[in-house]
Amino acid sequence: MDPTNPSAECRVLIVGAGPTGLVHALWLTHLGIRVRVIDKAPQAGTTSRALGVHARTLEFYRQLGIADEVVGAGVKAAGVNFWVRGSRAARIALSEMGEGQTAFPYLLIYPQDAHERLLIGRLSDLGVRVERPTELLGFVRHGGFVRATLRRADGSQEVVDAEYLAGCDGASSTVRHALATEFPGGTYSHLFYVADVEADGPPADNEVHIDLESADFLGVFPLTRNGHVRVVGSVRDSLAGRRQSLSFDDVRGQTVRNLKLRTGKVNWFSTYRVHHRVAGSFRQGRVFLLGDAAHVHSPVGAQGMNTGIGDAVNLSWKLASVLTGAARDDLLDTYETERIGFARRLVATTDRIFTLVTNPSRAAARARTGLIPLLLPGLFGIDAFRRSLFRTFSQIAVSYRKSPLSAGSAGGVHGGDRLPWVATSAGADNHAALAGVAWGAHVYGDSREAVEEACSELGLPLHRFPWQPAMEEAGLEKGGLYLVRPDGYVALAASSGGPQALRDYVSARGLSVAAEGRHSAGEALLDGGTATL
Ligand SMILES: Cc1cc2nc3c(=O)[nH]c(=O)nc-3n(C[C@H](O)[C@H](O)[C@H](O)COP(=O)(O)OP(=O)(O)OC[C@H]3O[C@@H](n4cnc5c(N)ncnc54)[C@H](O)[C@@H]3O)c2cc1C
């Protein structure tokens, strides 16, 4: 191949076909970028691992047109139950917990192996095949491209040149090691187990069950097949010494005693240690780290896979913009700025909760068994508490206000916030306008002629929504102008002087926000209250 023209073969080499790499490949391909996806494993994962798929991930999937399929294949968790001394002490309802905040107001349970198969299928529909077993051995960075050495299934080596390399290769990342990027943090002392089992008894009811009894964490989660559950727990210190020979039989008694769960056939049992680490940097020139390669943390709140998918989406549209000449290279720096900050906050929060949940002291045990069942149902009755908890766990509250890409505010919405979701009419909402995975201007209420002119000049689709009181509740301002990024975050929010602010924003950052052939500027397209100019 001609090294002066590496793009002839592959523009982005994606290393790792876990959820992060697969979503990165899907978004880039959707945006017209040629990718190769390699994975050293001979086949896709066959164990369920991550179960929780959060609202923000489903919103991203909706932009690609795959959300309905994912939701249809999963189970909506209806509630969380807290058990103390073998009895159910409290229950909180989860279904529709985020109502009014997103089109996906629940926690979806969808095992990671089935999830990955679905993503591989959609990728294959777009003509991209995961190459496996194909391992990245190493790479050398050149000025305009990265030269990677791969080992293919037959043992032969291949040298491939790509303009960018995305390290989506998990916690033991070859890419991170090759970059010699530090991975500071630590490892918790507990040994954990995970088991997928056939079961019956009260906790086999498609809800989540948590035992608060002791510092030996124990939780039961629904799987998509009836009568199958996931049991996650910590291993007593007295057993942890014989990790290699440990089996579910060693912990089975605890699930019966504490949760009244009768278990049968064990389909998967594994033990693992939990780490909390964030890589020192997520970008070095043309090489990026995403997903578990960039950050690992405790499973509290089911955040790991969802955060990797968020990384993939954040980087995808930026890479596509730079590769198509719609943005300067410095746009790519904002990937690290935006995602490393979130990863650090996440690791710190999950660490605090995890430490409390597994704290062996008497005071912590009293708090767990006494206070939590007493206080949580009451707190859940408070709308503001429920909303805030849902916003945090579902990742719809993730925002990038300090990013150089974020500017201004209008109403309660600041540049960097996720575009608030709002129903516009029966069965329709403003997030439908994000389906194009392109820049867009949103105006809620009447738009001024000057705004329309500025959008037309920039080739920017303008989405107008007739004003409704619910919009104010969502934080939107009547007549305010919101420039929305391809990933659904507000770049610029402007109360007044919107048209000039829009022009200034775009020119200062050297961006092209034109909709590239999707809609020609000036063409009006009315759709459920949305007008695209
Ligand atoms: C028991 C368990 C339960 C969990 N539950 C949840 C949950 O409910 N919700 C949640 O969000 N997260 C959960 N997680 C975390 C979640 O599984 C991970 O965060 C997620 O798999 C990370 O995805 P990834 O694509 O970044 O990395 P991975 O899934 O680790 O994928 C990395 C891929 O890279 C490949 N690879 C590695 N090195 C190379 C190389 N040199 N060349 C080529 N390929 C390579 C590997 O074969 C692998 O397929 C759980 C994890 C575990 C273990």
The pLDDT of residue 524: 31
The pLDDT of residue 529: 37
| CB-ligand 1 contact for 222 (6 Å cutoff) | no
| CB-ligand 1 contact for 196 (6 Å cutoff) | no
pLDDT higher for 239 or 56? 56
| CB-ligand 1 contact for 302 (6 Å cutoff) | yes
| CB-ligand 1 contact for 303 (6 Å cutoff) | yes
Classify domain 12-51+111-183+279-346 by CATH architecture.
Answer: 3-Layer(bba) Sandwich (3.50)
Among 26, 38, 40, 295, name the best residue to mutate to test ligand 1's pocket (greatest count of ligand atoms within 8 A of Cβ): 40
What is the percent of the chain where pLDDT is above 90? 69
Atom number in ligand 1 closest to CA 194: 1
Q: What is the CATH number of domain 407-524?
A: 3.40.30.120
**Which residue's C-alpha comes closest to atom 35 of ligand 1?**
16
List, by residue range, all CATH 3.40.30.120 domains of the chain: 407-524
Alpha-carbon span 423 to 471, nearest angstrom: 8
Residue 424 main-chain phi, psi, to 5 deg: -105, -30
The pLDDT of residue 526: 29
**Which residue's C-alpha comes closest to atom 33 of ligand 1?**
16
Atom number in ligand 1 closest to CA 41: 47
List, by residue range, all CATH 3.30.9.10 domains of the chain: 75-109+185-278+361-397
| CB-ligand 1 contact for 168 (6 Å cutoff) | yes
- Cis check: omega of the bond before 133, within 30 degrees of 0: yes
Alpha-carbon span 314 to 332, nearest angstrom: 10
The pLDDT of residue 450: 92
Average pLDDT over residues 28-48: 95
pLDDT in tens, 188-197: 888 889 999 9
Atom number in ligand 1 closest to CA 270: 1
The pLDDT of residue 131: 97
Atom number in ligand 1 closest to CA 174: 41
Across 237-299, where does the E strand assignment appear?
A: 262-278, 283-284, 287-289, 295-296
pLDDT in tens, 427-448: 899 999 999 899 999 999 987 8
The pLDDT of residue 39: 98
The pLDDT of residue 370: 79
Confidence of residue 425 (pLDDT cuts 50, 70, 90): confident
- List the helix and strand counts (H, then E) for the chain: 15, 30
Question: Is 219 within 8 Å of 211 (Cβ atoms)?
Answer: yes
H or E stretch covering 224: none
What's the 526 CA to ligand 1 centre distance in angstroms? Answer: 42
Question: Is 208 within 8 Å of 202 (Cβ atoms)?
Answer: no
Average pLDDT over residues 334-354: 89
Average pLDDT over residues 131-143: 96
Alpha-carbon span 480 to 410, nearest angstrom: 6
What's the 23 CA to ligand 1 centre distance in angstroms? Answer: 13
The pLDDT of residue 532: 35
The pLDDT of residue 158: 97
The pLDDT of residue 463: 95
pLDDT at 523 over 70: no
pLDDT in tens, 204-244: 998 999 988 765 778 999 997 788 999 998 888 778 778 88
Confidence of residue 521 (pLDDT cuts 50, 70, 90): very low
Alpha-carbon span 461 to 17, nearest angstrom: 34
| CB-ligand 1 contact for 21 (6 Å cutoff) | yes
Average pLDDT over residues 256-270: 92
pLDDT at 409 over 70: yes
The pLDDT of residue 215: 58
The pLDDT of residue 357: 72
Average pLDDT over residues 322-343: 97
List, by residue range, all CATH 3.50.50.60 domains of the chain: 12-51+111-183+279-346
| CB-ligand 1 contact for 308 (6 Å cutoff) | yes
pLDDT in tens, 495-510: 977 899 999 999 999 9
The pLDDT of residue 518: 40
What's the 131 CA to ligand 1 centre distance in angstroms? Answer: 17
Q: What is the CATH number of domain 75-109+185-278+361-397?
A: 3.30.9.10
Among residues 472, 412, 463, 469, the alpha carbon closest in space to that of 440 is found at 463
pLDDT at 525 over 60: no
| CB-ligand 1 contact for 291 (6 Å cutoff) | yes
> Mean pLDDT of all residues in the chain?
90
Average pLDDT over residues 158-168: 97
Residue 233 main-chain phi, psi, to 5 deg: -155, 170
What is the percent of the chain where pLDDT is above 70? 94
| CB-ligand 1 contact for 11 (6 Å cutoff) | no
| CB-ligand 1 contact for 480 (6 Å cutoff) | no
CB atoms within 10 A of CB 248: 18
